[in-house]
Amino acid sequence: MTEMENIFKPDDKNIEKAAKIIHEGRTVAFPTETVYGLGADCFNPKACASIFEIKERPLFDPLILHIDDIKKAFMLFKEVPCKAEKLMKKFWPGPLTLVLPKTEAVPDIVSAGLSTVAVRMPKHPIALALIRAAECPIAAPSANKFGRLSPTTASHVAEQLGKGPAMILDGGRTTVGVESTIITFHENKPVLLRAGGLAAEEIEEELGEKVLRPVISGNSLPSAPGCLKKHYAPAAEMKIIKRGDKTEKDKNTAYMAFSEPPEDFGEYGIVKILSAERNLCEAAANLFYMLHELEKAGIKKIYAEEMPHTGLGLAIMDRLKRGSVK
Ligand code: TXA
Ligand code: MG
């Protein structure tokens, strides 16, 4: 079997086939609106263990459960504060993950022994159809090797995981392009565990209060075990710069700009523009995709321009910072 032979088009027949694979305790990679996930039956600890094995992911890093109906969240969460329910109603399906105390139904391997579990309802017809057909919540981390770039196409998954997943459903390029925003609650206040595809400002507007940021304030707020310093890393060395900063320039270097090429663009091997219109949603959707392209082109060093720290710029900056840790 070649690398691409486990990529399937997501028609009804193949979604049924994928659901059967999930039932049998094996894994399926599938598209969501954020990035591709590597999914297994969340109630089957052995199947969940194989996710860790395929990704080479440490067991301390818990998985996100994907549901197709808000009601199912109440089987997985023991307590749902009013504010969390408000967010579910407003933003699900969509790129928001909630972390709340878990029920006994959730196996320990899913939550990595924590008393909480992460759940989201993706906004992607193929993901929703698969969850529905599988008749169980699907545990799914991003379908990449641990610490590496997240996949935004089926071939990104195949390149990193090969024949690891029994099947890869090809839904084309994902639209959001960065992972979901993760929110938990501490003393009934919302806490941002990971900046992602839903802007923190939108959550603040819905709740009418500030979302606390544990990383920036360095306080004792809860954190996500998987949000390690080095993560989302391309094979090349990456450096965040401001426009006009001094850089090395040759065919092995690349410049990733927000909206405009640098003056000396001809001297870099490759120049990428995240969004000519300075649209942060478009920039987020292009981020991992373009980093994959640079990786494939064999670029050795990437200079990434600093982005605005608002809206989805926060999620982009988070990925750039973690991807540039040596
Ligand atoms: O957009 C997404 O969220 C994608 C798609 C596939 O849904 N999934 C994804 O999963 O990004 P993953 O496993 O790559 O990232 C999940 C993050 C990790 O940083 C993990 O530590 C955190 O969620 N997490 C999961 N359960 C948690 C919990 N109970 N408490 C704190 N953090 C948790
Ligand atoms: Mg991930």
Kindly report the CA angle at 65 between 170 and 179, in degrees rounded to 5? 60
Share of the chain above pLDDT 90, in %: 91
Ligand 1 neighbour 44 (Cβ under 6 A): no
Continuous segment of H or E residues that includes residue 65: strand 64-66
Q: Are 269 and 297 in contact (CB under 8 A)?
A: yes
Residues 72 and 189 in one domain: yes
Judged by its nearest atom, the ligand closest to the C-alpha of residue 96 is: 1
Residues 184 and 36 in one domain: yes
Predicted model pTM? 0.94
Task: List all residues 6 or more positions away from 197 whose beta carbon is below 8 Å from its beta carbon.
Answer: 33, 34, 94, 95, 176, 177, 178, 179, 180, 181, 284, 312, 315
Is residue 226 over pLDDT 90?
Answer: no
In this predicted model, what pLDDT tens digit does every residue of 8-51 receive, in sequence order? 999 999 999 999 999 999 999 999 999 999 999 999 999 999 99
Evaluate whether residue 220 is within a structural domain: no
Give the count of beta carbons closer than 10 Å to the beta carbon of residue 195. Answer: 26
Ligand 1 neighbour 174 (Cβ under 6 A): no
Residues 21 and 164 in one domain: yes
Residues 312 and 273 in one domain: yes
Evaluate whether residue 8 is within a structural domain: yes
Is residue 184 over pLDDT 70?
Answer: yes
Kindly indicate the confidence band of residue 214, based on its pLDDT and cuts at 50, 70 and 90: confident
Q: Which of 121-125, 134-138, 184-188, 225-229 has the lowest mean pLDDT?
A: 225-229
Is residue 326 over pLDDT 90?
Answer: no
Domain boundary among 207, 227, 255: 207
Residues 203 and 242 in one domain: no
Evaluate whether residue 60 is within a structural domain: yes
Give the count of beta carbons closer than 10 Å to the beta carbon of residue 296. Answer: 12
Evaluate whether residue 148 is within a structural domain: yes
Ligand 1 neighbour 179 (Cβ under 6 A): yes
Residues 242 and 201 in one domain: no
- Predicted confidence at residue 220, as pLDDT, reads 67
Kindly indicate the confidence band of residue 176, based on its pLDDT and cuts at 50, 70 and 90: very high
Mean pLDDT of 72-98: 97
Residues 173 and 36 in one domain: yes
In angstroms, rounded to a whole number, what is the distance separating the alpha carbons of residues 287 and 320? 9
Question: Which residue range forms the structural domain that includes residue 269?
Answer: 237-323
Kindly indicate the confidence band of residue 228, based on its pLDDT and cuts at 50, 70 and 90: confident
Give me the CATH number covering residue 73. Answer: 3.90.870.10
Q: How far is the CA of 247 from the centre of ligand 2 (A)?
A: 30
Q: How far is the CA of 252 from the centre of ligand 1 (A)?
A: 33
In angstroms, rounded to a whole number, what is the distance separating the alpha carbons of residues 308 and 325? 20
- Predicted confidence at residue 230, as pLDDT, reads 81
In angstroms, rounded to a whole number, what is the distance separating the alpha carbons of residues 71 and 314? 31
Helix segments in 173-279, DSSP class H: 200-207, 214-217
Residues 272 and 184 in one domain: no
In angstroms, rounded to a whole number, what is the distance separating the alpha carbons of residues 189 and 214? 12
- Predicted confidence at residue 215, as pLDDT, reads 56
Is residue 1 over pLDDT 50?
Answer: no
- Predicted confidence at residue 3, as pLDDT, reads 47
Domain count within the chain: 2
Residues 16 and 160 in one domain: yes
Evaluate whether residue 269 is within a structural domain: yes
Cis peptide leading into residue 93 (ω within 30°): yes
The ligand 1 atom nearest the CA atom of 144: 14
Q: Which of 127-131, 178-182, 220-224 has the lowest mean pLDDT?
A: 220-224
- Predicted confidence at residue 4, as pLDDT, reads 65
Mean pLDDT of 52-60: 94
Cα distances (Å, whole numbers) of residue 188 to 59, 64, 84, 211: 29, 21, 9, 11
Mind giving me the DSSP string for 23-41?
HTT--EEE--SSS-EEEEE
Evaluate whether residue 216 is within a structural domain: no
Q: Are 122 and 137 in contact (CB under 8 A)?
A: no
Q: Write phi, then psi, for 295 (nearest 5 degrees).
A: -60, -45
Give me the CATH number covering residue 272. Answer: 3.40.50.11030
Kindly report the CA angle at 275 between 270 and 277, in degrees rounded to 5? 135
Residues 25 and 109 in one domain: yes
In this predicted model, what pLDDT tens digit does every residue of 90-100 receive, in sequence order? 999 999 999 99
- Predicted confidence at residue 218, as pLDDT, reads 52
Judged by its nearest atom, the ligand closest to the C-alpha of residue 32 is: 1
Q: Write phi, then psi, for 117 (nearest 5 degrees).
A: -140, 150
Judged by its nearest atom, the ligand closest to the C-alpha of residue 121 is: 1
Residues 258 and 203 in one domain: no
Mean pLDDT of 302-313: 96
Residues 152 and 294 in one domain: no
Evaluate whether residue 232 is within a structural domain: no
Evaluate whether residue 217 is within a structural domain: no
The ligand 1 atom nearest the CA atom of 180: 1
Q: How far is the CA of 95 from the centre of ligand 1 (A)?
A: 11
In angstroms, rounded to a whole number, what is the distance separating the alpha carbons of residues 19 and 201? 36
Specify the DSSP class assigned to residue 4. Answer: G
Q: Are 99 and 118 in contact (CB under 8 A)?
A: yes
Q: Whose CA is nearest to atom 20 of ligand 1?
A: 226
